[in-house]
Amino acid sequence: MDTDAIMELALEMAGLAEVPGDTAIYLPGKTVERVLFGIDIGSTELILARNLGYDLAISHHPMGGEAIVNFHLVLERHVQQMATARVPIDVARNAIGNLVYERRILNSMRNYDHAPSIARLIHMPYMNIHTPLDEIGRKRMADAASQLSEQDTVHDLITLFQSGFGEFQHAKTTIEAMVGSPDNRLGRVAISHGAGTNGGYPIAKAYFDHGVDTLVYIHCRPNDAQHLAQEYQEKEKTLIVTGHIASDSLGINPFIEKLRARGLQVTPISGIISPSLSHN
């Protein structure tokens, strides 16, 4: 496979028609047989990959180039997800406004060519795949959540995630209700993932104010969680946080298995949690 074919496979698995703004091929590779794959692959790991004879290094998180500069564009996916959860479009767009502005400005300040320039210097094919793999993970959690009814509890959903996914079982972090109680009625559930990053307080508020009872983030800043708790704790709204690295792994592992099924040798490093302790 070459890097274009690998990218197309990720898009196909995620059900996406085009490469999102936070995903890019920094240096193409034509004949890929051995892959070093991590949640964060930077300049050090690129040198390691070259020294160990890998044909391609894949980072999950964006590490440079257009994937950094255009990262804010994928935040628009929050609007689609909120609309699916019956949040009015104007409310959804207002909720993401500050987040899009902040990320656009902050990412324009970054040294976006640091890691890609190292890859070019040592001739190490290099790419990152972010939103497509997060979308795979989001769908897996959404499919699991759909097995429960609105009359079930938040505890039931947490238990289902933990029992159904090895990534959560083997993580050093735990799934927790950062807002609300595990005893709360599950009600309507929304999985907010696969849109660049979590939406913090404004996006959670939009969900809660428009009928979502249980919201799932993969991570949340403490101040946002505290603010939400002050406003929604007594309203029996619940924010579940599943854990960043475990949740990223939930989307990465099915992709790794597809690459292996096509004959590639893939070495997971840099945080990827295997669904099985005996398999790496």
Give the pair of three-digit tokens for residue 18. 């085009």
For the stretch 14-28, pLDDT in tens is: 999 999 999 999 999
Q: Is 178 helix (H, G, I), strand (E, B) or coil?
A: strand
The CA-atom distances, in angstroms, between 206 and each of 86, 102, 201, 220, 278 are 10, 19, 9, 15, 42
pTM, two decimals, is 0.95
Residues 176, 156 within the same domain: yes
Residues 21, 88 within the same domain: yes
Residues 171, 77 within the same domain: no
Residues 120, 251 within the same domain: yes
Other Cβ atoms within 10 Å of 39 Cβ, number: 19
| Cα–Cα distance for residue pair 37/58, rounded to 1 Å | 5
% the chain with pLDDT above 90 = 98
Is 276 a domain residue? Answer: no
48 burial type by CB count under 10 A (0-12 exposed, 13-18 middle, 19+ buried)? middle
Residues 117, 52 within the same domain: yes
Give the pair of three-digit tokens for residue 202. 């404004």
Mean pLDDT, rounded, for 203-215:
98
Residues 119, 147 within the same domain: no
Quote the domain boundaries for residue 148: 135-243
Confidence class for position 278, pLDDT limits 50, 70, 90: low
Is 275 a domain residue? Answer: no
